[in-house]
Amino acid sequence: MNQEARESFTAFVAARSGSLIRTAYVLTGDQHAAEDLLQNALARTAARWRSVRDSPEAYVRKAMYHEQISRWRRRGREYATGSPPEGVHHDADVDLRVALERALFALPPRKRAVIVLRYFEDLPEAEVASIMGCSVGTVRSQAHKALSRLRELAPDLAVHLEMS
């Protein structure tokens, strides 16, 4: 990687790592696993920087998603952490956040990924479909089913989920 590419990659990491680590945390449920997931995705991105520099964030998100799916498959099970990540800011909505976290981690991995990409990252359905390697209709269907399940798991969230 030449100096110009290194500088643009460093600027990208500095600008977007906060958002990317939040996505990684929602995918993994563990701060340390999220950091590892993001680091691995950024290493892949750095290796392919010339070809992905026009849309690096999409590449990083897709790399994180695919690696996490591979981890879930290798592990054969899913787990939820009992504690929030370090540095969480507490406010009046703490109970709501805890309920949302528990409900999210009760969802199957694919539905959770759709919710994270579609609503937390605010990506369009077509981009979510591209990242997940499925059709837009599948994204819509999975999102609908996941939101319905979230309403069942956390009735207190229903008011907030009605916005979607």
pLDDT tens-place string over residues 137-151: 999 999 999 988 888
Per-residue pLDDT at 74 exceeds 50: yes
Mean pLDDT for 97-123 is 85
Token readout for 31 is: 């701060």
Per-residue pLDDT at 119 exceeds 90: no
Query: What is the amino acid identity at position 127?
Result: E
Mean pLDDT for 153-160 is 71
Confidence of residue 162 (pLDDT cuts 50, 70, 90): low
Long-range contacts of 48-54 (CB under 8 A, 24+ apart): 49/1, 49/5, 49/8, 49/9, 50/5, 53/5, 53/8, 53/9
What's phi and psi for 3, nearest 5 deg? -60, -40
Q: How does the average pLDDT of the chain come out, rounded?
A: 82
Q: What angle do CA 144, 161, 84 make, to 5 degrees?
A: 105
pLDDT tens-place string over residues 78-97: 455 556 555 555 554 667 77
Token readout for 148 is: 């319905």
What is the reported pLDDT for 164? 46
Secondary structure letter of residue 29 according to DSSP: S
Q: Tell me the CA distances in angstroms from 99 to 8, 18, 52, 66, one per residue in order.
A: 39, 23, 37, 26
- List of domains in the chain: 1-81 (no CATH), 91-164 (1.10.10.10)
What is the reported pLDDT for 70? 80
Alpha helices in the chain (DSSP H): 3-28, 31-47, 49-52, 56-75, 94-106, 109-115, 125-132, 136-153, 158-161
Tell me the whole-structure pTM to 2 decimals. Answer: 0.56
